[in-house]
Amino acid sequence: MIKYLTLPGDTLEKISSDLKIENPNYIKGFHHQYSSLLDPLDGVLKTGTLLCLPFGEEIKKLNQEIIENGDNLYYHPPQGKIPFEVPLLAGTYIIHHQQFRDDESLAAYEFNMTLEYLKYEEENHIFTVELFDFNKDGIESDSKTCDLAIACMKIIYPFEIRINTTGQLIEVGLHTHPLQLKNELEDSKKYFIDQYAASYIDQLKLIIEDKKQLLEKLKNTLPIHFLCGTFYNAIYGDWTDSEIYPDYFPWLVNASPISLELYNRMAPKDEDHHLLKIFQKGNYLTKQSLSPLDANPKNKKELTLNKSSKNCFHEAEYHFHRTDLSLQKIEAKFSIQIDNITERQMFTLVKV
């Protein structure tokens, strides 16, 4: 047993986490075993309180008691990794995506995505992926640019995708022969007659001819990246935090994915005992090119990213069912400062 004088900001939850105790409420019982009746531990923990805390083998014994009583609040993944049951990705998701520049709202998008599980073949899980019900700023879009993108998506979707047993998207297939899709895209120029539309359609025609490029484009959509990114590769120790791991997040449109240094943290059980919540946080990892896809190099911008800077930040909250670890919800935020401008994004994916 050790005695500890509480500091400003200390809570039973924080102390419990620091000592790796499975339930902070058990600290009270331990304290009362060794403290006098004049030192009750009730209500809000005050600065300067002298606590009697377990140490060493006492913590192991206390945790064993907590687990045997079914009062443990933390999930500890087997073999240090979150199990990824790939077929449980099947379902329909509602997706919201908001973009801001400083305090100005640039756009708010909403659409649905369905993943239909087809079969398991050659150690890969095969799905079809479909996007539908597109809205912008809460209403059906009347923007020609958005109408063009939606019309093209309706032509090229659904895709057939293959995800391996570790959750990596490894292959994408078209539902129709590429030549037919190219002809349908070319026909759409009758309805979108400006130069931008023609260029956009021609780029899509080139992409569907190249399976490797199509695969990379699909990987770099936010919904697919969140579902099939490196989140499940994180390795956990004997407590709630994972080791630091790298990932490339496609937050910026028409730019290279941002290289991030991430870590995950398990949240304790709260009022909804059926949910497992995991928080993901990260900062940039290396120098990134934030250049738009512009042939004119004068329009390109370079941002030097280093580990000490605070101008690029990512955080996400994942919700899983505790029974089968099926994903239910992701809420994510991203911000980056480029020159004197701060770009912010908010992303939500909810399984229905």
Helix-helix angle 144-156:195-209, to 10 degrees: 20
Tell me the average pLDDT of the chain: 88
CA gap 329, 318 in Å, rounded: 6
Q: For residue 345, what are the β-bridge partners? A: 99, 334
* Three-state DSSP state, 319: strand
Q: What is the DSSP secondary structure assignment for residue 7, as one 8-state letter?
A: -
What is the pLDDT averaged over residues 27-55? 86
Is the pLDDT confidence value at 13 over 60?
A: yes
Single pTM value for the model: 0.86
Rounded to 5 degrees, what angle do the CA atoms 235, 239, 241 make?
A: 50
Q: What is the DSSP secondary structure assignment for residue 57, as one 8-state letter?
A: H
pLDDT for res 299: 36
What band does 262 get if pLDDT is binned at 50, 70 and 90? very high
Is the pLDDT confidence value at 74 over 90?
A: yes
Is the pLDDT confidence value at 144 over 90?
A: no
Query: Taking a C-beta distance cutoff of 8 angstroms, is the pair 157, 129 a contact?
Result: yes
Instruction: Give the residue among 111, 221, 125, 203 at the shortest CA–CA distance from 166.
Output: 125
CB burial of residue 269 (10 Å; 0-12, 13-18, 19+): middle
Domains and CATH numbers, the chain: 2-73 (no CATH), 80-351 (2.30.230)
pLDDT in tens, 219-234: 999 999 999 989 999 9
CA gap 101, 104 in Å, rounded: 5
pLDDT in tens, 159-195: 999 999 999 999 999 999 999 999 999 999 999 988 8
**Considering only 42-46, 87-91, 242-246, which range has the smallest mean pLDDT?**
42-46
Structure-block tokens of residue 333: 């935020």
What H or E segment, with its residue span, contains residue 143? none
